[in-house]
Amino acid sequence: MTTLLGHRPLVQEAAALRSGADDPVDAVRRTCDRIDAVDPQVRAFVPEHGRRTRLLEAARELAAAGPPGPAGRPALYGVPVGIKDIVRVDGLPTRAGSALPPEVLAGAQAAVVDRLRAAGALVAGKTVTAEFAVTAPGPTRNPHHPAHTPGGSSSGSAAAVAAGMVPLAIGTQTVGSMIRPAAFCGVVGFKPTYGRIPLDGVIPNALSFDTLGWYATDVAGVALAASALLDGWRGGGGGPGRPEPDPRPGRASRPVLGVPVGPYLERAGEEALRAFKEQLGLLGAAGYEVREVPVMDDFDAVVEQLFTMNRYEVARAHADWFARFGDRYREQTTAAIRQGQAIGDAAYEAARRRRAAFRAELAAASSGAGIDLWLAPAATGPAPADLTTTGTSIMCLPWSNAGLPSLSLPAGRAADGLPLGLQLIAAEGADEALLDAATGIERVLNGAEGEGAGRH
């Protein structure tokens, strides 16, 4: 990928700050300089008057705590982080990409922000989201080409990392809102297992699916953040806020990779499928076993089931706000809420039962085929040249429906030079194994990048 970085990768940035080789005040100055230089074009951050003053004060306060104690400084000491604007942060308004009064959306700070701050991170600001994390896009542009969408709904978070404004940014995924922007913007995006990280303080979209995640420029950075944010972290280092985690997931035997052949995979576009075939060839040549697994013959029914649940839950989440401020909602969000209002309790409960059956069928297919990870294109193709859409989430849909951990790796480029992504999906709760496997797969893709992996 063509780097646009102003920051070092997260692991190097964090290591320099923890060791004292770098200073939080200097890190903040670099961050603000980069935002000032780049964000007028990319528009990844929600505008904030006095950002530099606020951040410098926070950095000086952090530095004033003095030298580290016996346990060392925390994992993300001094690291500036972008926070998607459906995640509440003390001292900053939450607008959720909407025209609703911020005081209506106010509430206690999100648990994920508490964990970030306990790990020493500094909040660089709120990042742009599609309205209420549905589909009405915000003003963010793709850093690789400003006429193209960055994806959504975590558009600002992905673009902020891709453009080098911050080395880490928090997003959310309901269907495809972490993985697709990662693919479109050429960064690593990670969505943990559903329920692995608390959603307290996050404005809901559809609570049966909503999952916090984050972006970095490489797998090591994602794993470092996971050590500070995930419940029950079992990788290198300690749990939330613990000092000096090892950013490198522990090595294990190579996973067996599964390709979900059938109607689902056929939803990917020609360019994405051509690149996917090349990526599978590279992995096979590197010694990975790749198995084709027929699955999801009833994919259209899976899509219908997910959106029955999703729209029903969106409508319920917004029942009070929409009744009071419905005229301020954008067309796409209004349509989603109206669709959900028309779905009755019986249809919703039937969809819930179908989802439980789907999850069991998917797990059985994986187990029966003897695979450890599913692989698929992260999106149907490169980012569309259309700022009125965030793109389609269809390639992420089944895995979000099943609540599985997933990750998007940069995987070559399309004919127009825009990034493409490879999606890795593990079993429920196997987040550490996913990050471990992603490290090896990332190495293969990066090693082959100069030989034209995924390029046409």
* One-character DSSP codes across 140-199: --BTTBTTS---SSSHHHHHHHHTTS-SEEEEEESSSTTHHHHHHHTSEEEE--TTSS--
Residue type, 231: D
Q: What is the pLDDT of residue 67?
A: 78
Q: For residue range 305-363, list pLDDT tens digits in order.
A: 999 999 999 999 999 999 999 999 999 999 999 999 999 999 999 999 999 999 999 99
H/E element, 275: helix 270-285
Pairwise CA distance, residues 23 & 78, whole Å: 8
Pairwise CA distance, residues 306 & 194, whole Å: 15
The number of angstroms, rounded, from the C-alpha of 162 to the middle of its chain's C-alpha atoms is: 12
Q: Which residues of the chain have pLDDT under 50?
A: 1-5, 237-252, 448-456
Q: What is the pTM of this model?
A: 0.94
Q: Token pair for residue 222?
A: 């994602």
Q: What is the pLDDT of residue 269?
A: 97
CA nearest neighbour of 79 among 221, 270, 278, 231: 221
* One-character DSSP codes across 302-334: HHHHHHHHHHHHHHHHTHHHHHHHGGGS-HHHH
Phi, then psi, of 33 in degrees rounded to 5? -60, -45
